[in-house]
Amino acid sequence: MQVGLLLIAIVLSVFAGRLIQLQGIDPSSYAEMAAAEGSEIVVLPATRGEILDRNGEALAETVDGRMIIADPAVTSKVAPELAGILSQRLGVDYIDTLERLRTEGSRFQYVARQVPASKAEKVVADVAEKFKDKDGRPFAGLMTERDPLRIYPNDDTAANLIGFLGTPKDDGSAQALAGLEDSFNTYLSGKDGEARYEVGAGNQIPLGDNTVTPAVDGRVLRTTIDRDLQFYTQRVLQQTVQRAGGKSGIAVIMDSRTGQLLALADYPTYDVSTPYEFSDELYKSSALTDVYEPGSVEKVLTVSSLVDAGLAFKEQKFRVPGQLNRQDRPIGDYWDHGMLRLTLAGVLAKSSNVGTVLAADQFKRGQLRKYLTAFGLGQRTDIGLGGETKGLLPQGAAWTSQVGDRIAFGQSLSVNAIQMVSAVNTIANGGVRIDPTLIQGSATTDEGKAIGSEVATSRRVISADAARETMLMMERVIDPEAGVAPGAAVPGYRVAGKTGTAQRVGEDGGYDGSTTVSFAGFAPADDPRFTIYVLVHSPRAGAGGGSVGGPAFSRLMSFTLRRYGVPPTGAKPNQTPVEW
């Protein structure tokens, strides 16, 4: 009897402990489990925010779509034939669909996601009719639920900026794969809601508990891009690269006063509506991810820094030999010449490497590096796209006298295109550098960083007088009598600009014999409104920044000035002497 009583006491103690756990410790969790046994949860998808251009035109938008769902308890009986129909009508994989239609013990399997609403409803209706039973009742193995569909209405326009969404993940969340869709995925996605209701015998209980948590739609992302200008820029860039026999190219148009990017074109590019038909190497924006040596466009930074530091002026006289013997190798110009008598304006107009190095000899140690850092070189611009490189601006012991000579005329340092157009725009904007922006207002990236025009900063790099004097020298680059880029002229407008031709670094780390040619400038020169930068990688031999980039710049600047109704200032180009 004592043993029996002991056993009974032990059993009762276990029951008592379990009762305390159920009633006192975890009552809510077990209540939820009990409620879940008799309830059904339906996800209410949030609508993804649109990506718009500066004028409110859609670059990416969400339209009404459906997910098609199968009930394997019903579809398993006709799975092979049904899988064939769905594969043909919806483009889904036959084997995977067959397995889903036959899943044992399941009453809910996705068959297809983000199908246009009209197409999804038609497929389900046709299947219901085809597989109706002998009593004429429609087949009930397929159903639809709301599943918003992302579309890109402009094909390849701004594809490298927008990015795209892949197939939704198993939890229904967006799979952002590139561009702004990826960088601002959380901002655009919103938060799904849910509807929970009680069921009995497979049907909703009319007077049962019914709870709805509404979805929170994603926010709209408005860019600074002008869709129509972007389209035109891409076409001009494509023609320019192809005519020059180049491998790739970039064109950027910036509002000189605000730093907003009106167009940012890459070539080659891809159609964002059918991204998987293209190499994934094209998904990036090479204007941010690729670095290169800028060549002679950088000379405007060297010259403007000299003027700001009080070390040079536009009519300063230089004797420029055909070759300058420095360190391990001589420095020469792109054309053979004897001793020339050039002003500083002439050094810039004729793009003399030798003259630039002689002028840069006046810098104190570290002075040019400090200016280039202030111009934004060697730092990310953080405009909101992933994968941006910061380029290379040598520091410390890496900046030898030999490296310094080459940096003065645009070699031995690397930049990306957005850094370079922002630096040139500093001169257009009276010496004040403005952060380049791609987003209007403010938006938060998935990394938690606020990006956009509302949070952009500015800083003075050179004085307004130095910027103006540099502009006057840049204007001589366009002059057919004095400069090397008459093809960059825009009829009726004053234009300031600079050509660039730089050797390209190959995979082995040395120069591979190819070049990058470019042209950067702004107009109207005496009251700048737009800054444009065009570059082509690896054009055919003999191509230069003036002959390739200049005409493209002229077309883009002419179109942009007309589009925004910018009148000529009426002033005539300056005639600063280039020789003495």
Does an H or E element contain 36, and which?
A: helix 27-37
- In this structure, the strands spanning 51-52 and 221-222 are parallel
Residue finishing a domain among 223, 238, 272: 223
In the three-class reduction of DSSP (H, G, I as helix; E, B as strand; rest coil), residue 105 is classed as: coil
Query: In this structure, is residue 353 part of a structural domain?
Result: yes
What is each CA distance from 259 to 38, 192, 304, 518, in whole angstroms?
Answer: 58, 36, 20, 20
CATH number at residue 205: 3.90.1310.10
- In this structure, the strands spanning 58-63 and 142-146 are unpaired
For 383, phi then psi, to 5°, come to -85, -5
Query: In this structure, is residue 27 part of a structural domain?
Result: no
Same domain, 483 and 424: yes
End-to-end alpha-carbon separation of the chain, Å?
126
For 387, phi then psi, to 5°, come to 80, 10
What is the maximum span of the chain, computed from C-alpha positions, in angstroms? 126
504-562 pLDDT per residue, tens: 988 777 888 899 999 999 999 999 999 999 999 999 998 999 999 999 999 999 999 99
Same domain, 217 and 238: no
Query: In this structure, is residue 572 part of a structural domain?
Result: no
Residue from 429, 428, 397, 389 nearest 522 by CA:
428
- Residue type at 193? G
> Per the structure block, which two tokens stand in for 169?
């993940």
User: Which pLDDT value is given to residue 9?
Assistant: 84
71-94 pLDDT per residue, tens: 988 898 899 999 999 999 998 899
**Domain extent for 171:** 40-62+153-223
Same domain, 239 and 200: no
Domain count, the chain: 3
Residue entry with tokens 């039973």: 133
The helix/strand count (H/E) of the chain reads as: 19, 24
> Per the structure block, which two tokens stand in for 216?
């929170």
Same domain, 419 and 316: yes
DSSP letters, 165-180, are B-SPPTTS---B-SHH
Same domain, 239 and 207: no
User: Which pLDDT value is given to residue 574?
Assistant: 95
Query: In this structure, is residue 281 part of a structural domain?
Result: yes
Same domain, 318 and 210: no
DSSP letters, 418-450, are HHHHHHHHHHHTTTEEE--BSBSS-EE-TTS-E
What is each CA distance from 206 to 199, 200, 209, in whole angstroms?
Answer: 9, 10, 9
User: Which pLDDT value is given to residue 517?
Assistant: 97
The C-alpha atoms of residue 175 and residue 397 are separated, in whole angstroms, by 45
Same domain, 328 and 406: yes
Same domain, 123 and 57: no
Same domain, 126 and 219: no
Sign of the alpha-carbon torsion through 514, 517, 402, 579:
positive
DSSP letters, 130-143, are HT--TT-PPP-SEE
Query: In this structure, is residue 4 part of a structural domain?
Result: no
Residue finishing a domain among 179, 207, 223: 223
User: Which pLDDT value is given to residue 209?
Assistant: 61
Residue from 364, 299, 317, 312 nearest 499 by CA:
299
Query: In this structure, is residue 157 part of a structural domain?
Result: yes
Same domain, 191 and 271: no
CATH number at residue 332: 3.40.710.10
Query: In this structure, is residue 9 part of a structural domain?
Result: no
CB-CB contact of 114 with 121 (8 Å): no
Residue finishing a domain among 204, 223, 242: 223
Same domain, 82 and 219: no
Same domain, 352 and 497: yes
Query: In this structure, is residue 95 part of a structural domain?
Result: no
- The residue ranges of the chain whose pLDDT is under 70 are 22, 24-42, 168-174, 197-209
- Residue by residue, what is the 3-state secondary structure of 309-327? CCCCCCCCEEEECCEEEEC
